[in-house]
Amino acid sequence: MNSRLNQDYLISKGSSALAALRLINDSAAHVAIVVDENKKLAGTLTDGDIRRGLLSGFGLDTPVEQLMNSRPRFTSEDSNKETMLQMMHEQGLRHLPIVDEEMHVKDLITLQMLLSNSPLPNPVVIMAGGKGLRLRPQTELCPKPMLPINGKPILEIIIKNCMANGFRKFYLSVNYMKEKIMDYFGDGGRWGITIEYLIESQPMGTAGSLRLLPKEVESPFLLINGDLLTKFDLKHILRFHEEHSASASLGVREYIETIPFGVVKLDGIDLCGFEEKPSYRRFVNAGVYVLDAQLLDLLGSLQFADAPTLLQNAKLAGHRVVACPIHEYWIDIGMPETLKQAVHDWTVGV
């Protein structure tokens, strides 16, 4: 190999999941190589490993040793490119630690390094047709996705976030004041991307307009609500989707609800005890999805359908539907107070 291992990929077994997340998000390979005190390979840790741990109840203070893949695939220093590429394809790997005879980590190779760095083939569908009734009067003359956040429309921020993650093909589902959106973005040429429009003659829900997608859409595609801002790397949910052989993947956000009173526990009318101001952990829909194109057949002739209904129908039809936790910055700007918060956050630089 021409380049040696960037030490920033390495993390010790006792480090926290939060420290690993920072390393993974900052690294080009999106993986942490876990080593023992002698810098010998102990395991690998990906964003997906941590998200699965969060779903299982682990916290961000959990040592990476409890979350890592403790039986990672690896290769030797004398392996050539063809051997590594074949190994990665056969075993579905995206990265390979390279070790010496004593298992000291010497280098790291990724599938991206071995292949040309081409744009992702997966299209992005952004739901941008809502009326934004809760944001009136601001949305009386401006569609909600075009409301400015520090001088740029929300929709432009979403698109540029997608572009930064390798996406180049976009479909915008539009209805309310669609001309303002279409005139601003055009065909996407000035950004070096392709934009087509799914024009709703009437509101069709967060999934109904997917029926308007052209037949040539065959690869899994990203579906995003046009009223949310996030620092989430959207490639993560695409990888999560592929790793779990899912037909649909749903981004979820942890929400903690605290009851501001002492909760009384009863057995009928008999007192069992008290719980003072308990907090309950829930996951809520984050408005980010990856869907296999085959699921579009489930829409049939429905004129109106929302994404949760589509996912439930997919589950009933025997498709695998999985949840991918989003722990990064995320905010839905559908209400005046959250729009104000988003403007503040983007000013200070989240």
Structure tokens at 6: 């960037």
- Quick one: residue 141, left, alpha or beta (phi over 0 = left, psi -120 to 50 = alpha)? alpha
- Quick one: residue 277, left, alpha or beta (phi over 0 = left, psi -120 to 50 = alpha)? left
| Tens digit of each residue's pLDDT (9 = 90 or more) over 191-213 | 888 999 998 877 777 788 888 88
The predicted structure's pLDDT at residue 205:
77
Taking the alpha carbons of 311, 214, 92, 104 in that order, is the dihedral positive or negative?
A: negative
Question: Which parts of the chain have pLDDT scores under 70?
Answer: 1-8, 27-28, 81-82, 89, 112-118, 301-302, 347-350
CA distance 79 to 89: 15
- For residue 268, give Cα distances in angstroms to 59, 80, 278: 35, 70, 21
Which domains, from first to last, does the chain contain?
Answer: 7-114 (3.10.580.10), 124-348 (3.90.550.10)
The predicted structure's pLDDT at residue 319:
94
Predicted TM-score (pTM) of the model is 0.66
CA distance 137 to 131: 11
The predicted structure's pLDDT at residue 343:
84
